[in-house]
Amino acid sequence: LVRLRARLSRSNSVFGKGLLALLSSDKLDEEVWEEIEDTLLTADVGIQDATAIVENLRERVQVLGTRDPAELKRLLREELTAVLDPDMDRSINTTGAEGKPAPVLVVGVNGAGKTTTCGKIARVLVADGNKVVLGAADTFRAAAAEQLSSWGDRVGVPVVRRDEGADPASVAFEAVKEGDEQGADVVLVDTAGRLQNKAGLMDELGKVKRVIEKREPITETLLIIDATTGQNGLRQAEVFSQVTDVSGVVLTKLDGSAKGGIVIAVQRALGVPVKLVGLGEGPDDLAPFEVEGFVDALVD
Ligand code: GDP
């Protein structure tokens, strides 16, 4: 796993640097505070948190009466840290029942990066000494199973797949069964995310979930969100959290986005932590989300 801070340096610091520059303006008047709020909104921090950050900062700057850049930076760092909630548990739960594999369900809209993220996570789990099975329950696109299989080959992990059009729930069930028979520690189940047919998708995912849980309780449901899709991505995310028990978010494509504020908006909208972030298309481009490293990348 790569360290978040080193990898976020360029694109994301645009937003933090912008805020710092504004805070260091000659006079911190109404107009500047509005610009600070706009900068937060442009970086996809939601309105509620953008307003709260500005109000808190404004009050603290006034109380301290400070214009010292180091002090202002400290205040900004503290406000961003607080709103990101550093106390949330960001570990991935891969502890199944005694002697049984832990099923991890991966959901999200098509193109968000589900299959790629399954491959990257499998790689990390294998490197940590886990036995992993991948389940290709996105049977809508033949290419999805193909893509997951090539990740399986790359990482050295078996992939349970069926023909295009097969019942996703039965593929998921087979994958967990296979994991059990092979003595696997974790079964990662990739799913389809066609939002064009919302009712159909809900039914399908609900069934995938129920069928897996006939064998083993799901230990983690990861919702994959493309960081570049902004508010639209958030609305889609809410659909998934209505049918599955989303326990964590993987925010992908943060490498191509200067809108790091989406982390704050996602956590606010879904009430679950961002646990991992995708920083590129390659197998190494996955990092655990750490609040401190993220805030450092923004403001340092
Ligand atoms: P799925 O439809 O949700 O399974 O999405 P895929 O895993 O097929 O990913 C869609 C595209 O996004 C592919 O071209 C991936 O290589 C790319 N992708 C996935 N994660 C990342 C990431 O973190 N950064 C970048 N830059 N590209 C990514």
The CA-based angle 180-184-187, given to 5 degrees, is 85
Block residue for tokens 């992993």 = 132
- Tokens standing for 199? 């009712």
115 touches ligand 1 (CB under 6 Å): yes
| Ligand 1 centroid – CA 17 distance (Å) | 28
For 90, phi then psi, to 5°, come to -105, 15
ipTM over 0.90: yes
Nearest C-alpha to atom 16 of ligand 1 is from which residue? 281
From the CB of residue 63, how many other CB atoms can be counted at a distance below 10 Å? 8
255 CA distance to ligand 1 middle (Å):
11
Buried b (16+ CB within 10 A) or exposed e, 246-257: bbbbbbbbbbeb
Confidence (pLDDT) at 260? 86
Verdict on whether the full-model pTM lies above 0.90: yes
Quickly count: other Cβ atoms within 10 Å of residue 263's Cβ: 27
Give 87's contacts (C-beta < 8 A, 6+ positions apart).
none
254 within 8 A of 279, measured Cβ to Cβ = yes
DSSP class of residue 247 equals -
Residues 103, 218 contacting (CB under 8 angstroms): yes
pLDDT at position 60? 96
111 Cα to the center of ligand 1, angstroms: 6
Per residue in 112-161, pLDDT (tens digit) is 999 999 999 999 999 999 999 999 999 988 899 999 999 999 999 999 99
Task: Tell which residue, 178, 90, 172, 92, has the closest CA to residue 132.
Answer: 178
Ligand 1: residue of 194, 281, 286 to mutate (most ligand atoms within 8 A of CB) is: 281
Please tell me the predicted confidence (pLDDT) of residue 298: 86
Q: What is the pLDDT, as a whole number, of residue 11? A: 62
pLDDT, residue 1, reads: 61
Q: Measure the CA–CA gap between 93 and 105, rounded to whole angstroms.
A: 11
Q: Whose alpha carbon is nearest atom 26 of ligand 1?
A: 280
User: What pLDDT was estimated at residue 12?
Assistant: 66
DSSP letter string, 62-127 = HHHT---HHHHHHHHHHHHHHHH-TTS--------STTSPEEEEEE--TTSSHHHHHHHHHHHHHH
Task: Please identify every stretch of the chain with a pLDDT value under 50, giving residue numbers as ranges.
Answer: none
- Residues whose CB is less than 8 angstroms from the CB of residue 220 and which lie 6 or more positions away in sequence, other chains included: 92, 93, 94, 102, 104, 105, 247, 248
Per residue in 60-80, pLDDT tens? 999 999 899 999 999 999 999
**The two three-digit tokens of residue 131, written as one number:** 């036995």
